Homo-oligomer: A and B are copies of this chain.
Amino acid sequence: MLDATAALIEEVPYARLTVEAIAARAGVGKQTIYRWWPSRGAVVFDALLERSGGGDAALPDTGDLRADLSSFLRASAREMTAPSTDAFLRAVTVEILQDEAVALQYRQRLLTPQRAAVRQRLATAYDAGLLRDDVDLDVLVECLVGPVAGRWLLGSGALDDAYADAVVDVALRGAIR
């Protein structure tokens, strides 16, 4: 069922993604879907979860903070622009905007772990005395991730390596001792 959902998300515009189509594609009765999920949004979210693998690997630590952040942000930007990820992300974002339950799940199951990974790398640098004492690591994480997410959402510019690096530059220069 989640596989069918994933396939359809990439095939049809999200507004046309019906529970009936998911059931048909999965060779399943509609009721079976409603038995396990309360809404289309919940199914879509679980499909995303499965896809993301839940693998919330920590950022690598090469010793070079700027390089580590840059490669993470570059990878994120590249991922977001892949058509399949893009479609998934749009779908889930639409649900987040309209269903607080999905939003909560998203924060707990995906957002928080991902941000914790970034924060962990920053904390290492902080502990090594590389960052200013007064820096708020959570804010710093959002200053890295927020601009990239903004470009994806609004299409306000190219989501390329140069942009990722530019964001790292500004954020890091603002945080380094």
Contact = CB atoms under 8 A, between A and B. Distances in A.
Contacts of A139: 147, 163, 166-167, 170
Nearest to A134: B169
A88 to B, nearest CB: 12
Contacts of A96: 153-154
A170 B15 contact: no
Copy tally for this chain in the complex stands at 4
A107 B175 contact: no
Interface residues of A, number: 43
A4 interface: no
Contact of A142 (B93, B103, B156): B156
A65 interface: no
A90 interface: yes
Interface in A82-115: 90, 93-94, 96-98, 103, 106-107, 111, 115
Interface of A: 13-15, 90, 93-94, 96-98, 103, 106-107, 111, 115, 135-136, 138-140, 142-143, 145-151, 153-157, 163, 166-167, 169-175
